Amino acid sequence: MRIKLLLLLNAVVFMFAIANGQTVPIKGTVKNGQGAPIPAATVNIKSAKTGTQTDEEGNFTISVSPGKTLVISAVGYESMEVKAGDNLQVVLKEKNSSLTEVVVTANAIKREQRSLGYAAPTVKAAELTIGQSSSALTSLSGRVAGLNVTSSTGAPGGSTRVVLRGGSSITGNNEALIVVDGVPYNNSDNIGVER
């Protein structure tokens, strides 16, 4: 009788552990205060390295264990934490502060520009909007030494190739890595300029 009771107790604990470790797909939408969708917002599971991004309509899907907390953030908006649940409707508040200049060197070490022993060009937001370009990447053309920006299609919203200091890699791809709000972007994405 005692062995049966122990076996039953072990089975219950084992089933609880399996049920607790399962993940379910969670869907949701991220919008701003005016009800417009926020594309490319970051949706991360708190205290985990798992995350996703919203699409053009602000929709996202992420697999998460029940009861976990999601951290949702976007450039220009305040981060928000919400409990995981199906059909989440998240509204992010806009930040009142503007972006400042940051020089990030290797290994994400922040330094003042004058303390660096090499050139670290800075392009201000006002300089990016002078040419009335719809892409922040094409606006960089001619503003940074050694930067070669080419548009593959020439059409608005087309992909852009950004190569810094020549294309001499073994694989033939020497495109720049672009990271916005901790999310790496493919250079084929169109990164717009907000006016």
Q: Is the four-CA dihedral 174, 176, 179, 180 of positive or negative sign?
A: negative
Contacts of 127 (CB under 8 A, 6+ apart): 139, 143
Q: Which residues of the chain have pLDDT under 50?
A: 192-195
Predicted local distance difference test score (pLDDT) of residue 193? 44
Spatial separation of the C-alpha atoms in residues 136 and 148, rounded to whole Å: 14
pLDDT in tens, 17-65: 555 557 888 899 999 989 999 998 999 999 888 889 999 999 999 988 8
Go through the domains of the chain in sequence order and give each one's CATH number. Answer: 23-91 (2.60.40.1120), 106-185 (no CATH)
pTM above 0.95, yes or no: no
Which candidate, 20, 22, 40, places its Cα nearest to that of 30?
40
Predicted local distance difference test score (pLDDT) of residue 194? 43
Distance of CA 167 to the CA centre of its chain: 26
CA-to-CA dists, residue 173 to 26, 55, 132, 152, 162, angstroms: 36, 26, 29, 15, 10
Predicted local distance difference test score (pLDDT) of residue 160? 74
Helices (H) and strands (E) in the chain, counts: 3, 11
